[in-house]
């Protein structure tokens, strides 16, 4: 609260005394409130920090545009991100003399996560190639990278669709 001290002023002209009170407010509660506000804003700012997954993209090679980057990789799992959250996948690389068997699943725990965990259990050191299709949304790529991070895949890459991938999708009417 405020403490007051009376002051006495006497004058020659006035015979009566006038008392003027000087107020000295107690700032202790205000200081406590200030510290509480500073603590609240520091804690609130600490909880809002975003978490970011680091993604390192390689330098684009100067290769033939019709050649596939994953040609001949036998222990690979290629994920082609399609429309409506669908993920088309095949195992192994694309060879010119045989067409791989294309399967379709949905992203999330029941589809893509299960697939990645099975691939990791079956083959040690499997390389996951994520290929965003023409109808895929950015959210599909982020979801696929999240599933890669959740399943703790060590080897993965985000690559472009090759001409052979387009032909494979056209062959299955996707």
Read off the pLDDT of residues 90-131 as tens digits, 9 standing for 90 and up: 887 766 566 778 888 887 778 888 888 888 888 777 888 899
The whole-angstrom separation of Cα 98 and Cα 150 is 33
Question: 115 exposed, middle or buried (CB, 10 Å; 0-12, 13-18, 19+)?
Answer: buried
Residue 53, pLDDT score: 72
Over residues 149-166, mean pLDDT: 86
The residues of the chain that CATH labels 3.30.420 are: 76-171
Over residues 37-60, mean pLDDT: 78
At residue 38, does pLDDT exceed 70? yes
What pTM value is reported for the model? Answer: 0.57
The whole-angstrom separation of Cα 92 and Cα 72 is 8
Higher-confidence residue of 27 and 58: namely 27
**What's the number of CA atoms in the CB half-sphere (13 Å) around residue 5?**
4
Alpha carbon separation from 119 to 59, 60, 104, 167 (Å, rounded):
28, 27, 15, 25
Long-range contacts of 117-123 (CB under 8 A, 24+ apart): 117/151, 119/77, 119/91, 120/151, 120/153, 123/75
Residue 46, pLDDT score: 78
CATH of domain 76-171: 3.30.420
At residue 172, does pLDDT exceed 70? yes
Over residues 48-60, mean pLDDT: 70
Q: Which two tokens stand for residue 90?
A: 């095949």
The whole-angstrom separation of Cα 150 and Cα 141 is 14
Residue 72, pLDDT score: 45
If you ran DSSP here, which 8-state letter would residue 111 be given?
I
Q: Which pLDDT band, with edges at 50, 70 and 90, does 156 fall under?
A: confident
């Amino acid at each position: 609260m405020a403490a007051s001290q009376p002051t006495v002023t006497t004058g020659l002209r006035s015979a009566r005394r006038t008392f003027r009170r000087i107020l000295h407010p107690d700032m202790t509660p205000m200081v406590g409130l200030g510290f509480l506000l500073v603590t609240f804003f520091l804690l609130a700012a600490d909880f809002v920090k975003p978490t970011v997954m680091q993604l390192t993209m390689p330098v684009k090679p100067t290769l033939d545009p019709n050649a596939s980057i994953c040609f001949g990789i036998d222990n690979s799992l290629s994920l082609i991100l399609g429309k409506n959250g669908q993920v088309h996948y095949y195992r192994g690389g694309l060879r010119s003399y045989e067409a791989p068997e294309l399967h379709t699943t949905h992203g999330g725990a029941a589809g893509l996560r299960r697939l990645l965990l099975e691939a990791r259990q079956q083959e040690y050191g499997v390389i996951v190639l994520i290929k965003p299709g023409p109808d895929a949304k950015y959210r599909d790529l982020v979801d696929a990278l999240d599933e890669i991070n959740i399943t703790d895949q060590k080897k993965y890459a985000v690559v472009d669709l090759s001409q052979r991938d387009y032909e494979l999708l056209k062959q299955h009417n996707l």
